[in-house]
Structure 1
Amino acid sequence: MSPDVWMLLSFLALLLVGVPVAFSLGLAGAVGIVSGLSPAMLATLGTNTYNSVAKYPLIAIPLFILTGLIFERAGVAGRLVRFAQALIGPRHGGLALVAVLVCMIMGGMSGSGPADAAAVAMVMLPSMTRAGYPKPFSATLIAASASTAILIPPSVALILYSIVVPGVDLRALFAAGLFPGILAGLALLLPALWLSRHYRWESPDAGERPPLGESFKQALPALFAPVLILGGLRSGLFTPTEAAVAAVAYGVVVGLFLTRELGWRELWHLFGEAAVISGVVMLIIALAGIFAWAGTMLGTFRELAEWIIGLSDNGTLLLLFIMLAVLAAGMVLDAISIYLIMMPILIPVMQHFGWNPVWFGILLAMNIAIGQFTPPVAVNLMVTTQVARIRLEQTIGWAVIFVFAMALALLLVAMFPDIALWLPRILGYNV
């Protein structure tokens, strides 16, 4: 067998036996180097791992992870829920609408689906259960809605995409993700409202409507966070990395002095938790550098790209094939691993067919978002089922409905690229 086949097979074998993705990438890259180049080339391992993480834009990833943790612990989700309930009031499907809206707003702070799912599930699940919603439905809806965090800026996945794909403006990606993120939220909301009214979950006469003025004042610091991040980026006041620093500083002020639900001791623990999560992410990126270098030197990625291009001259058919492959990958891998593994193969395909890289990045993100609540792995769903104390298998029926709904939103963005590209063009970004 050729060295590139050995490398790919060793990567798949390591994954199947349960080796973590980061180490599977690094070890498979080493196999490719030894079998196809020279054992002496193993001396490049240190350089490749360092070069993979020695990139200034990557600083934004641990900072936005810290931002999400701070806002999660600062009581922001509860205040947003109360404000949304004041706006909507008790009605059939009211709490389902609240859950989707709050997940989307929280996504504009954390950039992380699992963090979003955890924060909203802790607040919303007890209320939805008391109102008559089945726990499997509530857990699935929150998990699906939290997946919009990968689209609504700031998004950790889009930050990485802008680094992996040369020449892509991160600000354009952030702007391009906004309307598809809202469209995905609406796509989830429609079946949720229909199901709520069909099964008559949540009586319109049940519960009191919180006072609008007071709940708005309490939610104002949380509502201002996305304005600060996106407004700073649009005005040119912040670069994306500086926006992440500003978001952390603002979250600390909100948690310590405004909501006062965050103490100095807990803040110190959050720094440690963010460091651990960021360490895992950076380890994946670092060891993926070995895999990427070996694949480039051996010509593995070029051969795979040529094979994909040779499957059909029909760009639409190949795009559908790629989307299905990414969806399947999203069921078992996280967004960061998918980008690092698949983009070296997909970039030549994207260039061959002339697909807009910003639009293509949003399509990939929407696919990965669907994978975040699609069993068997479904990271968001794992979080919400743990909070709800139910088995993952109980959510499969509801998950199929929401997968279909978000797939329709994905299809619309694929058919009409201007859904993603209109806003960055209006804002003057290079797309």
Structure 2
Amino acid sequence: MTPVVLFGSFFLFMSLTVPIAISLGLAGLVTALYSSNISITFLAQGFITSTDNFALMAIPFFILAGEIMGRGGISQRLFDVANVFVGRMTGGFAIAAVVTCMFFAAISGSGPATVAAIGGIMIPAMVAQGYDKKFATAIIVTAGSLGIIIPPSIPMVLFGISANQSIGDLFIGGIIPGIFIGLCIIVWTYFYSKKKGYKGTEEAFTVKKMVSALNRAKWSLLIPVIILGGIYGGIFTPTEAAVFAVVYAAFVALVLHREIKPKEFWGILADAAVSSVAILIIIGTANAFGTILSMEQIPQQIAEAFLSLSSNPTMIMLLIIALLLVIGCFIDTSAAVIIFTPILFPVAIQVGMDPIHFGVVMIVTLSIGFITPPLGVNLFVGSGISGIGMPTLVRAVTPFFFVMLFSLLVLVVLPQLTLLLLN
């Protein structure tokens, strides 16, 4: 009966539009009051100790680095570089927007942050070039999902902590899948643009333009190289890399680019603090929720239920994907990773899945939740930027949903895409 009270109260609070972090905490509290086996004090202690983790410190620093870079003129410089190389293609402006999102994803670690930083510049620019506003918004909203796939990725940090896996290995595992999904979006964009007659820019490619764009963006392009190179080279941990990213981004934005004034920095700190606190509260309350799940042996029961259906790793993965696609429609990505990793990870290990491959597939699956209603955070950010209503935007994003789903299935069938760089 305890699991019924736990999940029933959680979904009841969610249906009343109570924020997910509070819903998780209240569900744990209600269950603790119902059950004599669960101490409220124990849950409170778990709330505090779950956030007392060195690896978790990477999250607020990556968020702050993303905020600084988003306002430091980096987005426009990255687009200028992408546009020099692909702008002349059919649908070149749209393709350049996707490439820019991929670059920014390697900086921010957040889907909504990528949409906000790139969409604010690119959606109006694409409309001015003759692109349909719905298509322009759908492209940015979808490509923004790459923010949690291409490292550094905040959900990958959370998965690494929850599953006790190397965060550095998860980052490495996400590189090729992120690039592959970005290429799939580009291919669809190309054929759609060809059908609609969206031409590329008429400006000829010149070495002078390429050198000029690269020179303007050189400090921005170095950010992912320094961060990821430092982690993979063993120079610093992901948490230390996040701190370095903040220092470097602040130096570039304040001293080199001078796009941010010192007095504006306090506002950036405040925004980053609000976003960080929201995630840390989710981590704390989700830990309490997960503790009750473990005490009631719910993960073991779910594992047995999955294994009773099939012992084939691919079939189990497809069942997990179907579950996560539904979960992603209703639960925030960070909360979903923390809650469901302890439940689903043992299932994956029992059927012989590689832990890093499973983690990357889980993150990719949940990234689709950014573009699926009713939660669909990227949809709300894109709608706010473009002014397009949610029902209209959802219809525009639907083809991209199937592109993402196709990419995900390819990753399931070809785990080598995830494990290639690790091996």
Please state which band the TM-score falls in when normalised by the shorter chain: over 0.9
Alpha-carbon deviations, 1:215-273, whole Å to 9, x = none? Answer: 21111111000000011112211111000011000100110011110111111111111
Question: Which of residues 328, 331, 343 in structure 2 aligns to 1:330?
Answer: 328
Q: Does 1:192 align with 2:189?
A: yes
Question: Which of residues 351, 354, 359 in structure 1 aligns to 2:352?
Answer: 354
Question: Counterparts of 2:31 and 2:373 in 1: how far apart (Å)?
Answer: 32
Question: Which of residues 410, 418, 421 in structure 2 aligns to 1:420?
Answer: 418
| Equivalent residue number for residue 32 of structure 2 | 33
| Equivalent residue number for residue 429 of structure 1 | none
| Equivalent residue number for residue 173 of structure 2 | 176
AA at the equivalent of 1:56: F
Give structure 1 stretches of 5+ with no counterpart.
Answer: 426-431
Asked if 1 retains the 8 angstrom alpha-carbon contact of 2:92 and 2:200, the reply is no
Cα deviation, residue 12, structure 1 = 1.4
Cα deviation, residue 189, structure 1 = 0.7
TM-score under structure 1 normalisation? 0.94
| Equivalent residue number for residue 428 of structure 1 | none
Q: Does 1:310 align with 2:329?
A: no
Question: Which of residues 369, 386, 389 in structure 2 aligns to 1:388?
Answer: 386
Question: Counterparts of 1:134 and 1:48 in 2: how far apart (Å)?
Answer: 50
- Aligned pairs (5 A) from 1:177-326: 177-202=174-199, 204-205=201-202, 211-326=209-324
Structure 1's consecutive aligned runs of 4 or more residues displaced over 4 angstroms after TM superposition are: 206-210
Asked if 2 retains the 8 angstrom alpha-carbon contact of 1:131 and 1:202, the reply is no
Q: Which moved more, 1:75-84 or 1:208-217?
A: 208-217
Q: CA-atom RMSD, angstroms?
A: 1.7
Q: Which moved more, 1:86-95 or 1:406-415?
A: 86-95
Cα deviation, residue 92, structure 1 = 2.5
Question: Counterparts of 2:201 and 2:292 in 1: how far apart (Å)?
Answer: 61
Q: 1:204 to 1:72 in 2, by over 3 A?
A: closer
Question: Counterparts of 2:374 and 2:13 in 1: how far apart (Å)?
Answer: 19
AA at the equivalent of 2:10: F
Asked if 1 retains the 8 angstrom alpha-carbon contact of 2:163 and 2:345, the reply is yes
Q: Does 1:137 align with 2:135?
A: yes
Q: Does 1:89 align with 2:93?
A: no
SS at match of 1:355: coil
Alpha-carbon deviations, 1:379-422, whole Å to 9, x = none? Answer: 11211121111112112333121111121111111111110011
Q: Which moved more, 1:122-131 or 1:314-323?
A: 314-323
Q: Which moved more, 1:238-247 or 1:312-321?
A: 312-321
Question: Which of residues 114, 117, 125 in structure 2 aligns to 1:116?
Answer: 114
Give structure 2 stretches of 5+ with no counterpart.
Answer: none
Q: 1:296 to 1:96 in 2, by over 3 A?
A: same
Question: Counterparts of 2:373 and 2:37 in 1: how far apart (Å)?
Answer: 41
Identity of aligned residues (%): 34
SS at match of 1:236: coil
Q: Does 1:103 align with 2:98?
A: no
| Equivalent residue number for residue 13 of structure 2 | 14
Question: Counterparts of 2:103 and 2:141 in 1: how far apart (Å)?
Answer: 14
AA at the equivalent of 1:23: I
Cα deviation, residue 77, structure 1 = 0.3
Asked if 2 retains the 8 angstrom alpha-carbon contact of 1:66 and 1:270, the reply is yes
Question: Counterparts of 2:86 and 2:392 in 1: how far apart (Å)?
Answer: 29
Question: Counterparts of 2:183 and 2:303 in 1: how far apart (Å)?
Answer: 35
Question: Counterparts of 2:16 and 2:303 in 1: how far apart (Å)?
Answer: 27
- Aligned pairs (5 A) from 1:147-158: 147-158=145-156
AA at the equivalent of 1:287: T
AA at the equivalent of 1:385: S
TM-score under structure 2 normalisation? 0.96
Cα deviation, residue 36, structure 1 = 2.7
Question: Counterparts of 1:67 and 1:249 in 2: how far apart (Å)?
Answer: 8
Question: Counterparts of 1:319 and 1:234 in 2: how far apart (Å)?
Answer: 28
Asked if 2 retains the 8 angstrom alpha-carbon contact of 1:71 and 1:255, the reply is yes
Question: Counterparts of 1:233 and 1:322 in 2: how far apart (Å)?
Answer: 30
- Aligned pairs (5 A) from 1:23-102: 23-38=22-37, 41-102=39-100
Q: 1:265 to 1:207 in 2, by over 3 A?
A: farther
